[in-house]
Amino acid sequence: MPDQDEPDWVDTVVNGVRHEEVVDARTTLADFLRGRLRLTGTHVGCEHGVCGACTVIVDGAAVRSCLMLAVQADGAVVETVESLTDDSASGELTPLQDAFSRHHAVQCGFCTSGFMMSTTAALREGPVTDEAQAREVLSGNICRCTGYTGMVAALLEVGSDDQH
Amino acid sequence: MKPGRFTYHAPRTVADALAVLGEHAGDAKVLAGGQSLMPLLNFRVSEPGHLVDINRLPDLSEPVRTATGWHVPALVRQRAVERSAALSGAFPLLEAALHEVAHPQIRNRGTLCGSLAHADAAAELPTVVTALDGRLRIASPRGERTVAAEDFFVFHLTTALADDELLLGVDLDDLPAGTTTSFHEFAGRRGDFALAAVAGQATRDATGVVTRCRLVAAGVGSTPLRLRAAEEGLLGARLDDSALAAAARAAAHEARPTGDVHASAGYRRDLVATLTRRVLADIAAAVPTSVPTEELTHA
């Protein structure tokens, strides 16, 4: 049952695929990605912008998808964690994902996709070369399992790599 | 939780935005960056019937040079302020405070003006804009008006904005020659709201005597709090140890903190003294310089 008589449309490119959908105005981008597009790699944690689990990249900038409405993504280009590897069937990881794995920067994994998107956006902006900078990049996401030491190590390992 | 039902409006002109706000005055909220409003909607602390998304309004996304300083329109993201060499150069206080505002992901969406309109008394930006003596440009169906930051903040989460008014932007004047600024905050964790913060600017003459001074505290009142007694004590004085100590005492005395689960009122009062002293020590240590306006314009 739609909320309104007048439908709200969203026309957005998510991970390279264009979607034109009718949405309820109150649907957040996070719920649209998960519920409508079935891109369930984006996780919903606190729903008020604190935990960072829902972080995605919109028009090049890492943002909280729980603090954006789906209709606001109209005309935008969205990237989710699913976009990081071209072929999920092969199981091949990006250097960042691989570094997270090797440095034990993942435990339960709930927060990981948010960390991936925050760090991916940060690395596109420039290299991450010292611990203070790495911690600043990671500061907007919360992990309740591992602590952050492994993540700092992983980020520093790939942070100065030119291919990012 | 999820937001309650609302009708979504995405006006393309300020006139259309004002028309929607006027038609649904009292039942409409303005959505800019959404980093304060969306949590309230998600938790249904706020359940407006109409949401007026101003993100599609034209010409509000870039800072504009004015005759006396800068105009920062409603859709300038906090991250854009941070990255603007011109704005950061003109107002180092803004840049210093933005480093304490949440995290990059929040600042990518959040706007300077949105933080002002939300008016959290523990937030950095209302405090800094008050310290910079900003003037807020407000539009309504009745026309435009300008309100000084100090008069704009009325109470916790309450501003001078009427239900049918829209904050168009904020004007910040260039600082006079010989002015230095500083910002210090103490928060439980990096990126949290301030337990207390102090923003200050002081202008000194060639002999080091303070001729202008403004100190504003966050987190210790129901609005950004001018520390007037501390300011007055500094006028005509040099920023030596005894002046700093007196200002810190005065600031602690006039702070109006309340205690909560995060910190007692007394602790916050002590913080105000310490942070005031740190701000003034920074200013005392800095060589007062002013960057010529021409250079900023081309930065």
| Domains located in chain A, CATH noted | 8-83 (3.10.20.30), 95-159 (1.10.150.120)
Residue A150: both structure tokens together: 């492994």
Q: How much is the average pLDDT of B225-246? A: 98
Predicted pLDDT at A92: 86
Average pLDDT over residues A118-147: 94
Mean per-residue pLDDT for B279-290? 83
pLDDT exceeds cutoff 70 at A116: yes
CB atoms within 10 A of CB B207: 6
ipTM for the predicted complex comes to 0.93
Tokens of B198: 């102090």
- B 35-64 → A contacts, CB under 8 A: 35, 38-39, 41-43, 51, 53, 55
Nearest CA in chain A to B53: A72
* pLDDT, average across residues B63-84: 97
> What pLDDT is attached to residue B288?
56
How sure is the predictor about A87, in pLDDT bands with cuts at 50, 70 and 90? low
What three-state secondary structure class fits B65? strand
CATH of domain B7-52: 3.30.43.10
Distance (Å, whole) CA A49 – CA B37: 11
On whether the CB atoms of residues B64 and B87 are closer than 8 A, the answer is no
Instruction: Identify which has the larger pLDDT, A97 or A89.
Output: A97
Burial A3-31 (b: 16+ CB within 10 A, else e): beeeebebebebbeeebebebbbbbbbbb
pLDDT at A163 over 60: no
Question: Which tokens in the block code for residue A101?
Answer: 């794995």
Instruction: Report chain A's C-alpha Rg in angstroms.
Output: 16
Distances (CA, A) of A59 to A15, A119, A130, B67, B105: 11, 15, 27, 33, 13
Q: Which helix (H) or strand (E) holds B148?
A: strand B143-148
B42 CA: distance to closest CA in chain A (Å): 7
Classify A109 as helix, strand or coil: coil
Q: What is the pTM of this model?
A: 0.94
Q: What is the mean pLDDT of residues A73-78?
A: 98
**Any bridge partners for residue B186, and if so which?**
B196
Contact (Cβ atoms closer than 8 angstroms) between residue B50 and residue B41: no
**What tens digit of pLDDT does each residue of A8-57 get?**
999 999 999 999 999 999 999 999 999 999 999 999 999 999 999 999 99
Structure tokens at B25: 């005055």
Residue B47, pLDDT above cutoff 80 = yes
pLDDT at A3: 60
> In the numeric block, which tokens belong to residue A111?
């927060």
pLDDT at B291 over 90: no
Instruction: Give the percent of chain B with pLDDT over 70.
Output: 96
Residue of B nearest to A23 (CA): B8
B186 touches chain A (CB under 8 A): no
CA neighbor of B49 nearest in space, from A79, A25, A147 = A25
pLDDT at B297: 46
In tens, the pLDDT along B3-40 reads 999 999 999 999 999 999 999 999 999 999 999 999 99
Inter-chain CB proximity A71 and B104 less than 8 Å: no
Give yes or no for B83 touching A (CB within 8 A).
no
Burial of B26 (0-12, 13-18, 19+ CB in 10 A): exposed
The DSSP element (H or E) to which B213 belongs, if any, is: strand B210-218
Q: What is the mean pLDDT of chain A?
A: 93
Please check the confidence at residue B299 and state whether its pLDDT lies above 50: no
> Contact at 8 Å (CB) between B178 and B205?
yes
d(CA B51, CA B49): 7
| CA-to-CA dists, residue B201 to A89, B126, B130, B133, B215, angstroms | 58, 15, 11, 10, 7
Which residues does A71 contact at the CB level (< 8 Å), separation at least 6? A8, A9, A10, A23, A25, A27, B8, B10, B53
In tens, the pLDDT along B152-190 reads: 999 999 999 999 999 999 999 999 999 999 999 999 888
Nearest Cα of chain A lies from the Cα of B2 at a distance, in angstroms, of 8
Task: Annotate B227-258 with b (16+ C-beta within 10 A) or e (fewer).
Answer: bebbbebbeebebeeebbeebbbbbbebbebe
Contact B2 A28 (CB under 8 A): yes
Contact B239, B208 (CB under 8 A): yes
Q: Is 3.30.465.10 the CATH number for B65-173? A: yes
Please enumerate in sequence order all residues whose Cβ is within 8 A of that of A41, keeping only pairs 6 or more positions apart, or say none: A80, A81, A82, A113
Scanning every residue of chain B, which has its alpha carbon at the shortest distance from the alpha carbon of A121?
B105
Domain ranges of chain B: 7-52, 65-173, 179-285
Class of domain B179-285: alpha beta
Written as six digits, the tokens of B10 are 């995405």
Strands (E), A7-161: 8-14, 17-23, 55-58, 61-64, 77-79
Of all helices (H) and strands (E), which one includes residue A120? helix A112-125
Q: Is A61 exposed, middle or buried (0-12, 13-18, 19+ CB in 10 A)?
A: middle
* Pair B276, B254: CB distance under 8 Å: no
Give the number of other CB atoms < 10 A from CB of residue A144: 11
Specify the pLDDT at position A91: 76
Contacts of B191 in chain A (CB under 8 A): 139-140
Mean pLDDT, all residues of chain B: 94
3 state SS of A19: strand
A25 at interface of B, judged by CB pairs closer than 8 A: yes
Containing B70, the helix (H) or strand (E) segment is strand B69-73
Continuous H helices in chain B = 14-23, 37-42, 78-83, 85-90, 92-98, 104-109, 112-118, 124-131, 149-152, 228-234, 241-254, 265-285, 293-297
